[in-house]
Amino acid sequence: MGEAVNFKYYLPFDSMGDMLDYYQQSLEAGNRSSKTISWYREILERFFNFLGSSGQLKPLSQLGKKELEAYILYLHQATKWPNMKYGKASLSHHLSPFTIQGHVRAIKAFWGWLYGEGFISENPLAKSPLPKVPKNIVKTLSKEDISKLLNEVDRQTPLGFKYYCVLLILLDTGLRVSELAGIKMGDISISEGLIKITGKGQKERMVPFCKTTRKVITKYTSQFRQSLCPQESPYLFAKRDGDNVTIGSIQQYIRRLAGKAGLQGIKCSPHIFRHTFATQAVANEAHPFVLKEIMGHESLQTTLKYTNLTASEIKKQHSKFSPVAGLIKGK
């Protein structure tokens, strides 16, 4: 992206790398995940390189809204994204609105940190809005879709029953696929129907599962697990070498299963199971605050984004809580 810039003339560090190293240490101290830290760093490196190559790099105290807006325009026009690790480009090779918003979110977070650390006296990006993104409604799995998927699983084989157990846990708990892959044998209390999950930011929570899932987990651990991995492996779903199952293998299995089941018009992935869990839970009158705790969300707003009720479900709920519905009955 142009010639390298000597950052020590612009920043209170000898180089951009030194500054980002210091920021990275701060994120690590805050228990941010390695993936999040890498994502932040990659975005910030690209942002500062853009400023340097376009002649817009200034001392930190002089950078602000104007430079951020220029970068957003650049992102909208970019047709190539070499070595991109986080965020997917569309088929036209343009970045999606969600990816661009993520970049702006990361830059705003960094400026908030600069202000908090005293490197700048005010935060010029504090009130800068995030770029708008389309409000796409995620299509979740219907009961018929779920039945089709489960019916395609060969439960007579150890591997098939393992993934049957995986699917039920995803549907019953709404876990992130990374959380499911990391479950250890010591994290599960089958008698209590609870799993201890270490989620984002290393925060622990207890997630319940129902009696049906309890029976399936018991059968899997007592009859099938020992033929798939070493007994001493700490993980519930382990590979032959004893390490935990990979996220990619779960994603691939679900994609193939959806193809066999003939599901149409839905992108079948572990994350769809999380959306389906949330939507079905609310449709079955789960309290939003309880759902928030189960799913491990920081805010209720995030939880509500996962709940995509159909028009008939919304109408059914409305008839229960409407203050007018029973007002003039019998009159």
User: Tens of pLDDT along 67-107?
Assistant: 999 999 999 887 655 555 444 444 446 788 888 999 999 99
- Find, among 108, 70, 78, the residue nearest to 95 by Cα: 78
How many structural domains are present in the chain? Answer: 2
Q: Which domain holds residue 84?
A: 7-117
Residue 60 tokens read as: 């930190």
In a domain, 97, yes or no: yes
What is the pLDDT averaged over residues 50-62?
Answer: 88
In a domain, 18, yes or no: yes
In a domain, 103, yes or no: yes
Q: How far is the CA of 230 from the CAs of 227, 236, 282, in angstroms? A: 8, 11, 39
User: Higher pLDDT residue, 317 or 52?
Assistant: 52
Are both 196 and 52 inside the same structural domain?
A: no
Are both 151 and 289 inside the same structural domain?
A: yes
Judged by average pLDDT, the poorest of 53-67, 124-138, 205-219 is 124-138
Q: How many CB atoms lie under 10 A from the CB of residue 103?
A: 23
What pLDDT does residue 330 have?
A: 47
For the segment 208-226, what is each residue's pLDDT rounded down to a tens digit? 999 999 999 999 999 999 9
In a domain, 262, yes or no: yes
Choose the most confident range, by mean pLDDT, from 67-81, 124-138, 175-189: 175-189
What is the pLDDT averaged over residues 104-123?
Answer: 91
CATH classification at residue 227: 1.10.443.10
In a domain, 263, yes or no: yes
Cβ atoms 118, 22 nearer than 8 A: no
